Structure 1
């Protein structure tokens, strides 16, 4: 790990969204793959992780003895020059001083509020390219949670009059799941609220064509009823 010089305005930052990165202020810290996986596992878990569970999850192909040795090696690598992992009885947890972007993003899923800064976190993928089953389980949860949060965020920003960031949130939801009707409907409603019916029609028609091509389905009556007056006027 990179040698660090402490400064009062710096903290340890662990990035899991859009890729793994550990940094101290603006200084990146090199972490070997095994230690990366350990940090990610502890950051994704709210409660301390028993050592045996961590070893089995991180080194599933190894014997229990070998996995335990790998875990001890990773802990040794993470012990200097700063504290990253804390032992609680026979379990491990991430030090409370480490700022984790995924945890901040999860707070937005629980209460999106009307914070434009949430858009960047909510539209990011969790550890892209990581194939471990314990990562995939968290990624599946994150995919659903952020979609719901982006739609709620868009509606709250719109109600506050911030249509620019409301559009960004709705568009991020559509880009995350192009077949999600509620995300398209949120974007259509924003176009209508902006007095841009032509763009609302284009958005609806694009979604309808995609839905037909991908699933052979039609949009629900809910969104069709919203668009019916405009579709009549275009005939």
Structure 2
């Protein structure tokens, strides 16, 4: 059987037996849509989502064309019925694996790598944006949990990586900045802790006109004096 893998994190890619396969734009969007859904998608729904700016008849024709132009490996890539479409059961999807990490974060470097990746960057279709918004919040929570778990295990290096990934995802998220300040202090780097705090405070003031909370300020109050 052919091993099929769809990558959605960091950009779209289809691999057949670890070899990248070229996919035309319409088929690429179709595979991405099915890879994001756990259940079969009705054909009219898929056509309307993928080709929203055309007639129902034209969208249906575009869907049929995209299905015809898909690669036909021995392992089913898409299971097609008269009414629905669903991704083949044996097709691996990196986003689904990342969602499992987000639901139950385990203290592994692989989890940090997957959780810090953006979902289909550069895609602005509404059905992608809705998933991207959910993924952003899920990964932020998971990265902070991971950082705490790494720190409790004494692995400050990966604890720092997880917290930094959360800050890069949401530069105004105070809890992530607070974790980084605490890690710098625990590592005996007070100057770096102050720089982290001041960088966050400057950005918060510039973008929202707000001040950091008392909780993070107390961590560096004596150092600022």
TM-score range, shorter chain: over 0.9
Given candidates 44, 47, 50, the residue that maps to 2:39 is 47
Query: Hey, what does 1:77 align to over in structure 2?
Result: 69
Deviation of 1:33 after TM superposition, in Å, equals 0.4
In 1, the alpha carbon distance for the partners of 2:89 and 2:151 equals: 35
Deviation of 1:26 after TM superposition, in Å, equals 2.8
Give the 4+ runs in structure 1 shifted more than 6 A.
none
SS of the residue corresponding to residue 119 of structure 2 reads coil
For 1:1-235, list aligned pairs within 5 A: 11-78=3-70, 80-82=72-74, 83-87=76-80, 90-231=83-224, 235=225
Deviation of 1:199 after TM superposition, in Å, equals 1.3
Checking the alignment, whether the CA contact within 8 Å between 1:15 and 1:100 is kept in structure 2 is yes
Bigger Cα displacement from structure 2, 190-199 vs 143-152: 190-199
In 2, the alpha carbon distance for the partners of 1:24 and 1:168 equals: 32
Bigger Cα displacement from structure 2, 193-202 vs 142-151: 193-202
Deviation of 1:195 after TM superposition, in Å, equals 2.1
Question: For the aligned residues, what is the CA RMSD?
Answer: 1.5
Number of aligned residues: 224
Question: Which structure 1 segments of 5+ residues have no match?
Answer: 1-5
SS of the residue corresponding to residue 92 of structure 1 reads strand
